[in-house]
Amino acid sequence: MSARVGKAVVLTNSMLALAVAAAGAIAALAAFVAYKRASLRALREHSEALAQINAAHDERKAHDLALIAAEQTRASELSTETQRLSDALAREADALAHARAALAEAHARHDDLLAHAGRIASEAARLKQLAATFERWHEQMISLMAQNQDMHRKNHELARIVNHVLMVSLNASIEAARAGAAGRGFSIVAGEVRALATRSQELSKSYRDSLDRNDLVTTATFQDIQAGGKMITAALGSVESLAQQFHSKLERNPT
């Protein structure tokens, strides 16, 4: 009986020990399961966080790549715009250089026109002086022709006097011949007077011929001077009109 009780106690203790061990194992298993669950939850949370981080990183990377692409596009556009502006500036520089050259050429042409206008004005002044000289010659020729006419009148009067002296000397010679020996000396004087009158008549005729030739030359010269004066006056009017047109054009277009 005691042995049975002892065995029962031992068996009970063994069962208790097994129950305790089983409870410990179960508790350990439960703790392990709880640990595994916590680990899995932590791993899942870590995975989710890592996925979020990767998603955020990918989003950031995509955003950065978009920004880089936009910056590259903008840089390309800026490069294109810069090149366009550079080409435009080059064209503007060429146009400015051409404009400066044209302006310099216009200034040179303007200076040439001014010099030409000055030469025209100088020629006009010379023509004025020449016209004044022709006018003076014209007046002198008129005076010379008047003097020629006066000399013609005086020569005509001298010829009349010479003819009268010749007639008087001829009558004196006739009267001396009638007087005979008494009028011989008077006849000699009358002959000398007649010879002098004849010579004076020849000189008067030669002088008249010279005056006639002088009249022809003077008249021709007078007509030439008149024609030349008219031509110079007309040319002077044209030159002055041209000079005035030049000055007006230069004043309207200073460059």
Are 130 and 234 in contact, with CB atoms under 8 Å apart? Answer: no
Residue tagged 């009358």 (tokens) = 190
- How far apart are the C-alpha atoms of 133 and 232, rounded to whole Å? 11
Q: What is the pLDDT of residue 9?
A: 56
CB-facing half-sphere around the CA of 254: CA atoms within 13 A: 0
- How far apart are the C-alpha atoms of 94 and 88, rounded to whole Å? 10
Q: What is the pLDDT of residue 216?
A: 83
- Segments of the chain scoring below 70 in pLDDT: 1-23, 25, 110, 117, 182-184, 186, 236, 239-240, 243, 246-247, 249-255
Q: How many CB atoms lie within 10 A of CB 134?
A: 19
pTM for this model (two decimals): 0.43
Q: What is the pLDDT of residue 10?
A: 59
Q: What is the pLDDT of residue 250?
A: 61
Element (H, E) at 253: none
pLDDT digits (tens, 9 = 90+) for 54-80: 777 778 778 878 888 887 888 788 888
Q: What is the pLDDT of residue 183?
A: 66
What residues have CB less than 8 Å from 163, skipping those under 6 apart? 197, 201
